[in-house]
Structure formats: structure tokens, C-alpha cells
Amino acid sequence: MLWIIRFSGFFSAALVTIVLSPSLQSFPPAEAIRSSHFDGYLRYPGQTPVVDSLNRFSFRKASAFGNAEECGSGDRQTSGETTVCDPSLVHIAITLDVEYLRGSIAAVHSILQHSLCPTNFFFHFLVSETNLETLVRSTFPQLNFKVYYFDPEIVRNLISTSVRQALEQPLNYARNYLADLLEPCVRRIIYLDSDLIVVDDVSKLWTTSLGSRTVGAPEYCHANFTKYFTDGFWSDKRLSGTFVGRKPCYFNTGVMVIDLVKWRRFEYTKRIERWMEIQKNSRIYELGSLPPFLLVFAGHVATIEHRWNQHGLGGDSVRGSCRDLHPGPVSLLHWSGSGKPWLRLDSNRPCPLDALWAPYDLYGPTP
């Protein structure tokens, strides 16, 4: 179990002590990150990030990992020995793109460090750019994974403008298409955003019961749910009537457990797309890929403990100001919002909690 002890005050640094259960594997922390601005390696002035820029930065190879003796499936040594349809696998989906690649690598690294049976995991990486597979393989030589190409054209005409340009990127919508992209034998998936770290064994999240629900996530029923949609939406009973008979609560789509069998059966991708089409014509929300999920699933979500998504550490969608932890135990820290820990650390303007992300950062050459 993870215990976090915090002392915070106005403009004061947070003192954070983490004690991990002895049952979890211990790995040497990654070398402290260098103070070069990552974004500078990925962009040329006036250009969109391109894959050719990948040769201008590198990631260190992660420490070797293996299953503990109590793992029932045995120790898989290489990804070549593991097929995606192995029923004993834990399936995890994460997007990979040049701009957030540093975060994705840190997320995977954190999962492996805190897992009792890391070779029982299979990672499904969603990409809209090529040549990222080689980089992942060189960083995690033992990792079981497969790369799936998501065509941006699938959603380009469905995406509307948002409060932050990053929310308009087509790859943000790849989570809507997991049931179509992954093999039919993959019956359940954990979807994780790229701006988080896991500090507990993610197998615990995998075994969460969804009951009759299709999606499981931590819910936040104290949040003002009405703010996620426009006044025009709430005043039009043909639209807002979708919540009649439901008790909708906000949930963050950056951490979800999804029953892909039910998703395919009830064709939820088409339901999400229909709301995106309405948005293009009627402007019923402002926040990118989140509101369509709320429209389809809010009030029908299997509740997962809040410890599995301590979100909002990236501040709001505009300023990216520093945030504190929510009360209670922590299994996953999520820098949702505009402030990302790697950019704040590199600019020498970190928030106190960004220090918790740094040990999982593998960016930079091998010393």
C-alpha cells in the first residue's frame, strides 16, 4: 500500500514520503532529468512535430524486470513468446505521440516498477505516426506490446474546437475506437493517459468488478456536472433529456477499465460519434473528447476507488497552476490539465508534486 504524507502551505513546498509494500519489486530510480527543454527537440519553428525529429533525442534503457515467484503464469522472457490472445494477460492501452512520448514512457516505466508480475502485462500502443515502435523496443527490450495505427482521418471531420488546442488532436479520440482497433480476443482493457504514473500494482485495477457496466472509472459526484455542457444544451430538452432517469457524475476518461465485449455488442463507438456530430452543428460542449463519454456513460459507470485517479495535478486547461493531492490513499497520480511535469521540470519551474514523476523519467542519454 502507498502512504503519502503531505505538509503544504501557501507558496510552500510539499514534503512527500512514499513507503511501498515490501511485496512490490524495487528498482533503482531513473537518473535525474536534464534541464534541456524537451519540446525544443520535437518541434521546428512553424512546423508540426515530425517523426524525423526522433533521432534528436533518446531514452535510456529501463532496468530488467521479471515476475515474482508467486506469479502463476510463469516468467515470460520476451514479447515473442507472448501472444495477444493469451487469457492470462493484463491488457493496457496507452497512446504514443511525439509531443507526449516522454510522459508515455514514464507511465510504462512506473507500471513495471510497481508490479508483482510485469511480464503478464501486454501493452497496446495507439499511434498516428510511424517509427515509434523501435524507440519503445530499445527502451523496454522485454516488454510485451503491439503498436496499432489510428488513422486521424477517422475523426478529423468530427472534432470541434476546444478550450485548449492539445484537446483537439485526433489521437485523443483513439480511446473511442479501442474495440475496433484491438483483436476480438481482447475482452477487457485498462486505458491510461500519457501524463500519469502508477505507484501501485495495476493488477489490482485490472481485477475491479464492473458488474453489468461497460466502463469503470473513479466518479466525482461532488463536481458541478452542468458546467461540462453549454447553456444551449441544458435548455434543449431533446438533448439534455438524455440524462433523464440517470444520476450522472463527472469521471475522468484518462483512467478507465473497459469491457470490450459489451462495448462491441452495444456499439458504443457509434453512440459517441453521434454526439460528436451533434456538437459540430449545435456546440453543446467545450472540452474535447470528454463530454461525448459523459453523454453516453455518465450515470452508468462502475465506480472505482478514487485512489486510482488522483487527477488534476496539471492544473486547469489554461494556466496549468500547481495543485495539491486530494485526501486519501494514492495508487495513481495524473497530471491532467495543461501543466505537464516534464515541461515544468525542464523550465526550472516545477510544482512540488512534479518531484514524484521525475524518478520514472527515462529521457536522456545513458550516463
pLDDT tens-digit readout, 213-231: 999 999 999 999 999 999 9
* Structure confidence at residue 136 (pLDDT): 95
Cα–Cα distance measured from residue 142 to residue 194, given in angstroms and rounded to the nearest whole number:
20
Cα–Cα distance measured from residue 202 to residue 190, given in angstroms and rounded to the nearest whole number:
9
Q: Would the CA dihedral through 19, 25, 28, 29 be positive or negative?
A: negative
Cα–Cα distance measured from residue 163 to residue 294, given in angstroms and rounded to the nearest whole number:
17
> How many C-beta neighbours within 10 Å does residue 49 have?
17
pLDDT of 45 > 80? The answer is no
pLDDT digits (tens, 9 = 90+) for 105-119: 999 999 999 999 999
3-state DSSP percent of the chain in helix, strand and coil, to 5: 35, 15, 50
pLDDT digits (tens, 9 = 90+) for 291-322: 999 999 999 999 999 999 999 999 876 676 89
The arrangement of secondary structure in 86-311, i.e. its CATH architecture, is Alpha-Beta Complex (3.90)
Q: What is the mean pLDDT of the chain?
A: 84
DSSP of 245-287? T----EE-TTEEEEEHHHHHHHTHHHHHHHHHHHHHHH---SS
Under DSSP, the state recorded for 73 is T
Q: Which residues pair with 173 in a beta bridge?
A: none
What is the value of pTM for the model shown?
0.84
Cα–Cα distance measured from residue 263 to residue 258, given in angstroms and rounded to the nearest whole number:
8
Q: Where in the chain are the domains?
A: 86-311
* Structure confidence at residue 288 (pLDDT): 83
Percent of the chain scoring above 90 in pLDDT: 70
Residue 234, C-alpha cell as written in the block: 441544458
CB 153 within 8 A of CB 166: no
Residue 280, C-alpha cell as written in the block: 459540430
* Structure confidence at residue 148 (pLDDT): 97
* Structure confidence at residue 362 (pLDDT): 97
> How many C-beta neighbours within 10 Å does residue 175 have?
24
* Structure confidence at residue 166 (pLDDT): 55
Q: Which uninterrupted H or E stretch holds 101?
A: helix 101-113
CA distances from 170 to 98, 155, 156, 176 (A): 13, 6, 6, 11
Burial of 168 (0-12, 13-18, 19+ CB in 10 A): middle
pLDDT of 53 > 70? The answer is no
CA distances from 340 to 94, 108, 189, 191, 320 (A): 17, 16, 25, 19, 8
Q: Which residues contact 1 (CB under 8 A, 6 or more apart)?
A: 21, 200, 329
Cα–Cα distance measured from residue 185 to residue 83, given in angstroms and rounded to the nearest whole number:
11
